[in-house]
């Protein structure tokens, strides 16, 4: 696993080789305070799961939970970047 971006939420890239057919799979993993989740976990019911993951930033969590424009699943990377910009470690 390689670190992609470091911040209050660290982003890792996990690459896996499937030996049966020789293909590669790349999965982003997000880690905050020792809790790691993968992209699939956050994307299922994104507004609920992501707002819980970033709950310590109440203002940002509310925007995600209320599905405000530019705070949905297709803006996941932007939400993480905004969280990292606003957070304090």
What is the structure's pLDDT at 40?
87
**Interval 30-47: pLDDT, tens:** 999 999 998 888 888 999
Q: Map out the domains of the chain as residue ranges.
A: 2-86
pTM of the model: 0.83
- Choose between 57 and 22: higher pLDDT: 57
Whole-angstrom CA distances from 42 to 20, 47, 59 are 28, 8, 19
Q: Which residues pair with 25 in a beta bridge?
A: 16
Average pLDDT, the chain: 91
What is the structure's pLDDT at 89?
62
Q: Please write down the long-range contacts of 77-82, taking CB distance under 8 Å and 24 or more positions apart.
A: 79/50, 79/54, 80/5, 80/7, 80/9, 80/11, 80/30
What is the structure's pLDDT at 83?
97
> Is the Cβ–Cβ distance between 36 and 16 less than 8 Å?
no
d(CA 63, CA 18): 38
């Amino acid at each position: 696993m390689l670190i992609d971006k470091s911040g209050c939420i660290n982003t890792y890239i996990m690459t896996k080789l499937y030996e049966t057919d020789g293909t590669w799979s790349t999965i982003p993993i997000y880690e905050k305070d020792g809790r790691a989740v993968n992209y699939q976990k956050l994307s299922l019911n994104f507004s609920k799961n992501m707002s819980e993951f970033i709950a310590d930033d109440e203002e940002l969590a509310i925007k995600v939970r209320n599905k405000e424009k530019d705070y949905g699943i297709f803006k996941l990377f932007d939400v993480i970047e905004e969280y990292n910009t606003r957070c304090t470690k």
